[in-house]
Amino acid sequence: MKSTEKLQATAYEASQSILKAKETADHYIQWMEEKDKKAFKDQIKASKAIKDSLEVLLEPLVGEDFSDKQGIIRTPVPDIGDRIGNAYNYTAASFDKPGDTQERLKKQAEEALRPAI
């Protein structure tokens, strides 16, 4: 169970780093637009491209944004948070040592997290 919690902490730290970088990009975009939008045109465009690339990095960690849809939405491809949650739930529900299913789920979560960090 400790290894699954460690995976959760790693995924959390990675997502927080990406979110902080995204907030920084937003701050500078806003600052440049307030100062002189025409003079900073190229920098604003580059900052928006950086922000978009950060979104691409964040998506595997937290899943695709479905905020425009209503209700419970099932995604065909589980994100890293789903995989870690499944491994944690299986491990926490068992009184015995982790079995094959728990080990397999933990390994899948580790393999999904590795490219994201």
Give the structural domain span for 89.
Answer: 2-116
* DSSP state letter for 67: T
Number of domains in the chain: 1
Alpha-carbon distance of 69 to 100, in angstroms, equals 37
Query: What pLDDT score was predicted for residue 106?
Result: 75
pLDDT at 69: 63
Are 21 and 53 in contact, with CB atoms under 8 Å apart?
Answer: no
Tens-digit pLDDT string for the chain (117 aa) = 577 788 778 888 888 898 899 999 999 999 999 988 889 899 999 999 999 999 888 887 776 665 566 666 666 666 777 777 777 776 766 677 666 777 777 777 777 777 766
- Distance between the two ends of the chain, CA-based, in angstroms? 21
pTM greater than 0.75 (yes/no): no
What contacts 78, CB < 8 A, 6 or more positions away? 86
